Amino acid sequence: MNKFKYSNTNKRYYTLDYYYKSKYNIKVFKVSLNMGLTCPNKDGKVGYGGCIYCSKMGSGEYAGDKKKSLKEQFEDVKSIMLKKWPNAKYIAYFSANTNTYAPIEKLKKAWDEVLNYENVIGINISTRPDSISKECYDYLEKLNKKTDLTIELGLQTIHEKTSKLINRCHTLECFENCVKELNKRNIKVLVHIINGLPYETKEMMLETVKYLNNLNIWGIKIHMLNVLKDTKLEQLYQKEHFHILSKDEYVNIVCDQLELLHENIVINRLTGDPKLEDLIEPKWIIKKVCVLNDIDKGMKKRESFQGTKCK
């Protein structure tokens, strides 16, 4: 059986697990943390209400409790993960809301603190491309020389009409400039995109991936749109009943996207983990393993790999 060059399993794409095991020769997992920050499109700096799909947790459903200290959060989340992987190293993952949107001294304190935790080998910071100050870029450059640093940027789509609909409140040019600034400092860039955004066609979703091939990014997260309770997206869905991708449609689109993506882009995620009690649609998303298995089957049936159709 032919194997993908960046895989030691049946996966036909470059998994994050393979990347870390190849680099550190041990299992590495993320410990999600919550600094209790907000976003510039929530507090009025660029907009109000946040992205229409964003939950009340600021996409930090599996992060620690913001009422607790970072150390307490870290130990809480780590203790759960260690049951599955007792011998592992950790990435401190700042995941909830916009994690560079605070005074630089507050950010420094949090990032420097987690680097002192035992077996932490890196930091992953989730943020927006419009929310990194010059002094923050400069400190990230220093941080990058001390640890395995990744900056996760929310893009979601390259299409302006969709971006306005979902209330992203930043431009594609802003995103490009942010990637360039991070590239100048040799900082790894991880990009988050969403399939199934309201009224987007399959071709539009593929165009987003083709666009990313032309940038110097390290990794990508691909998510299916989740309609969650008590969000503006739920209100839009109840009013307009826009099309929700079926599992087969989603799997087919992801397989196409994998074929288009350059083979050296690390696939950090291919589906999400919504909390069942918050989920309106799609119901099929809760069976994460089934979705991933179907993607594997789809790539095998096609006899293709990540990058097969990358120009």
Query: Is 308 among the domain residues?
Result: no
Query: Is residue 210 situated within a structural domain?
Result: yes
CATH code where residue 147 lies? 3.20.20.70
Q: Is residue 10 part of a domain?
A: no
Q: What is the mean pLDDT of residues 29-40?
A: 93
How far apart CA 152 and CA 170 sit, in angstroms, is: 16
* pLDDT 10s digits, 79-104: 888 888 888 999 999 998 999 999 99
Angle, alpha carbons 255-260-261 (nearest 5°):
100
Q: In what order do the strands lie in the sheet with 27-33?
A: 27-33, 88-94, 120-127, 148-156, 188-195, 219-224, 266-269
CA distance 156 to 163: 8
Residues in the chain: 311
* Tally of CB atoms within 10 A around 178: 22
Residue 244 counted as domain residue: yes
Domain enclosing residue 123, as ranges: 16-302
5 occurs within a structural domain: no
Name the pLDDT band for 8 (thresholds 50, 70, 90): confident
Q: How many domains does the chain have?
A: 1
Assess if residue 9 is contained within a domain. Answer: no
Q: Is the pLDDT score of 305 beyond 60?
A: yes
pLDDT tens digit sequence for 264-273:
999 999 998 8
Quick one: average pLDDT of 53-72?
A: 76
Which residues lie closer than 8 Å to 127 by C-beta, 6 or more apart?
Answer: 98, 99, 100, 101, 151, 152, 153, 154
**Is the distance from CB of 297 to CB of 290 less than 8 angstroms?**
no
DSSP annotation of 231? S
Average pLDDT of the chain to the nearest whole number: 93
**C-beta neighbour count of 139 within 10 angstroms:** 18
Position 1 pLDDT exceeds 60 = no
